Structure 1
Amino acid sequence: MSYTNVQLKFSMFYFFVFFGTGALFPLLSVYLDDYIGLTGTQIGVVMSITPIISIVVQPLWGMIADITGKPQVILVTVMLMSAFIGFFYANVTAYGIIFIMAVLLAVFQSAIVPISDSIALSYVQRVKGNYGNIRLWGAIGFATAVLVAGRLSELIGANMIFYAFIITIVISASIAWFLPRERQSVSVNVFKGVSQLIKTPQYVLFLATTFLVFGPIYANNFYFGIFIKDIGGTLTGIGLAFFLAAGSEAPFMKFSKNLIQRFSLEKTLLVAAAISALRWLFYFTEPSLILVYATTVAQGFSVGLFIPAALQFVRDAAPKTVQVTAVTMYTAVGNGLGSWFCTFIGGVILDKYGIMPVYLLFASLTVAGLFVLVSIMMLQKRAEVQVHI
């Protein structure tokens, strides 16, 4: 199978996976509020389920993939189960049942991105390809979905977001089955490998960086709409802002490999995190809506570079026998623990002080993540000096 054909399959896979994610999750809180009629507290509980569940579940799925040596089979399984649960989720209205559906969906859906990222990165490293060139289609899919699903919801019905999710996830699962079989040969006990990860200072410090930098990035998905409305935007304006922000990630992902090779992995991470911190600080100043639209490219610069660079860092730091576990642990800390912490604390701040101080929190955490990144760079320089001695 030629590299071009494989790249096309990966690109289609990421487009449909993130189209499904973009169709469902940015609009889920609106669905639960306007269509189901849940209270604000109930909506907050439902929306926080995925990050909480992923803290535990993502590393477990990674271990299962490493132990079986069949990450592709695991990936297709969790995708089909996500689609199956999504169908029931779309047809229930009682809060208790919605809570159960949200938990079940989180158990399976939260495994999709880290396992697929591990497969994709393993392939491109083996053939010396460009991960950014295929991952950028995820950003394009997400950006497109926010506009398309919102319009379909207005024309057909609010629960259309679930059917858009189901259809695209099933399409993605069918594509996933024909992706390259990137099987890791497990020659050591996976739990011993996890112990190795925990004893690797650079990896542990990078988990802290992920918590501090990615936590605000993912929590912003919950608060960005409130922020846009607060500075004078409409529901259409919220969709446009998400489209511009997510869409801007694609070109940066495309050129991420060249930038990493030119400026080094660590410097790329440092600059991307710094741009993210400046973005949150800018939002804290309560800028005009036009300026926010104009500066959405900051998300492309920060997220579009940080994601591929972070994944490469994690896989380089991890033993080959537990690389899926390493990626899922990294994702659990950022998508899970970091997202939950920032969402929860951000909600407390929102209730007491309003939306702008939430972004001061995000900026402060990201600056702390910058200091941790500097510590990692210092550790690596020290190790290089010792090797030369």
Structure 2
Amino acid sequence: MLAAVKKEKYPYNFILYYAFSFMAPAIFAAFLPVYLSTKGYNQTAIGTLLAVGPVVTVMAQPAWGVASDKSRYKNNVLLLITLGTAFTVLLYNFSAAFPFLVIVTAVFTTFSSGITPVADTIILDHLGKKQRSFGPVRMGGTIGYAVMAIIAGYFAQKNIKFIFILYAVVVGFSLLFTARLPKVKGYYREIKSKVSIIQLFKNRGLVLFLVFNLIISIISCFYSNFFPIYYKQTGADNVLLGWATFIATISEIPFLIFADRILNKIGTRNCLALSAAISAIRWISLYLITNVYINLVLQILHGLNFIVFNYSMVTYINKEAPKEFKTTAQAIYTLSVMGIARIVGGLLGGYLSDCFGIRQIFLLNTMITIAAIILFLGLFYLLPPSKSYKNSSL
């Protein structure tokens, strides 16, 4: 009886894992562009450096996904890449020379890019068996990200180079909780009749979601890369930037609380379209408004953007992908967000920002988002559903 009670104990370790593992990206998302700017790099150079990681992600992330699916336990792969991330981030402290930063970013991203899809698969696998909701668990990541944004802001205000040591420390703490995650096998080893990975792309719903997600993610990655610089150009300091990131992140909590109910009520397709429409309002607001305090308040709109796409896609893939390719499918999704989208958002965004200014690109992003919504919904209504997703919760 006691054993049964222990099995049903709420997985607080998952919440703590997400809290610490999401603290690290919060540091780089807000302050790595600022660090590069203090070293004298222009927007094109910053965009190029920020695109190095995504280029590596395109190759590394699918490899980690396949390695995880084929390993005895997915946890072994997660421990390896987390440990590699903690050590390689410290290399940033040695030099700010462009060639050195390119090499360090490539090595660092080789490890860090695999963490999220592998961890999501392990945790979703366990939660699925226990029939527990992913939303409250994933909320740990939101809270960790938000809190670290403020802490990192104060560290960056004192010395911007502190962000690399801080990153290594929080990844080190996340290792403690990584080691306590339940063991999840690489199911590919157990299945005798192997399924081709091509089956993933026969799911027309999944393909449309991935393409739409890619377009919206390119725009979001432009925001992630250049909003910190733009916000400081309008008069904000590092502390205010930290608070802006905090508000943006903490605004995700209401959606995470009601995520499953919302998706069950309106479906994945409508949820993504509505989220994209709200993001269009956000981009046009950044174009029209330059007051740092009004834009601080408008950060609350973030709670209906990234997290909606991320949660909807991760849970949809977990339901639709074949068991032996779940991690690979999650890696493909994360690849589109962290890889391809960041390459385009960094390189093209940096070039266009130098040519026309960051503010003008927010206006362009508004128009692209509206066009993408119309195209996305139009294709869903015009194209007949394929058998692979006819009965899925779209």
Question: TM over 0.5, yes or no?
Answer: yes
Give the one of 7, 28, 46 matched to 1:24.
28
Give the Cα separation in 2 of the matches to 1:289 and 1:280: 15
**Offset of residue 235 of structure 1:** 3.5
Q: What does 1:93-242 align with in structure 2 at a 5 Å threshold?
A: 93-155=96-158, 157-186=159-188, 187=191, 192-242=195-245
**Offset of residue 126 of structure 1:** 2.2
**2:296 is matched with which residue?**
293
Give the one of 266, 269, 272 matched to 1:269.
272
Pairwise CA RMSD of aligned residues?
2.6
**Offset of residue 53 of structure 1:** 1.3
Give the Cα separation in 2 of the matches to 1:74 and 1:96: 29
Give the Cα separation in 2 of the matches to 1:9 and 1:170: 16
**Offset of residue 383 of structure 1:** 5.5
1:251 partnered with 2:257: no
> Deviation digits for residues 131-156 of structure 1, max 9, x if unmatched?
1111122122122212212212344x
**1:62 is matched with which residue?**
65
**Offset of residue 165 of structure 1:** 1.0
1:334 partnered with 2:337: yes
**Shift in alpha-carbon separation, 1:320–1:98, aligned structure 2, 3 A:** same
Give the Cα separation in 2 of the matches to 1:378 and 1:384: 17
SS at match of 1:344: helix
Give the Cα separation in 2 of the matches to 1:112 and 1:327: 11
**Shift in alpha-carbon separation, 1:189–1:44, aligned structure 2, 3 A:** farther
**Offset of residue 328 of structure 1:** 0.5
> Deviation digits for residues 292-312 of structure 1, max 9, x if unmatched?
222222110222322211111
> Deviation digits for residues 208-267 of structure 1, max 9, x if unmatched?
112111222232111112332344433333222112112211232222122222322322
SS at match of 1:12: helix
Does the CA-based 8 Å contact 2:142-2:249 persist in structure 1? yes
SS at match of 2:196: helix
**1:11 is matched with which residue?**
15
Give 1:223's aligned amino acid: F
Give 1:164's aligned amino acid: L
**% same residue:** 24
Give the one of 86, 105, 108 matched to 1:83.
86
Give the Cα separation in 2 of the matches to 1:346 and 1:37: 18
Does the CA-based 8 Å contact 2:31-2:156 persist in structure 1? no
Does the CA-based 8 Å contact 2:44-2:347 persist in structure 1? no
Give the Cα separation in 1 of the matches to 2:389 and 2:217: 31
**Offset of residue 105 of structure 1:** 0.3
Structure 1 length-normalised TM: 0.89
**Offset of residue 378 of structure 1:** 6.0
SS at match of 1:264: helix
Structure 2 length-normalised TM: 0.88
Does the CA-based 8 Å contact 2:22-2:144 persist in structure 1? yes
Task: Please list every run of 5 or more consecutive structure 2 residues that lacks an aligned counterpart in the other structure.
Answer: 1-5
**Offset of residue 10 of structure 1:** 1.0
SS at match of 1:295: helix
> Deviation digits for residues 111-133 of structure 1, max 9, x if unmatched?
11111122222222222211111
Does the CA-based 8 Å contact 2:70-2:187 persist in structure 1? no
**Offset of residue 167 of structure 1:** 1.3
User: Which 10-residue stretch deviates more, 315-324 or 88-97?
Assistant: 88-97
**Offset of residue 69 of structure 1:** 4.6
Give the Cα separation in 2 of the matches to 1:189 and 1:284: 54
Does the CA-based 8 Å contact 1:215-1:339 persist in structure 2? yes
**Shift in alpha-carbon separation, 1:54–1:319, aligned structure 2, 3 A:** same
Give the Cα separation in 2 of the matches to 1:376 and 1:78: 38
Give the Cα separation in 1 of the matches to 2:278 and 2:82: 34
User: Which 10-residue stretch deviates more, 229-238 or 58-67?
Assistant: 229-238
**2:3 is matched with which residue?**
none
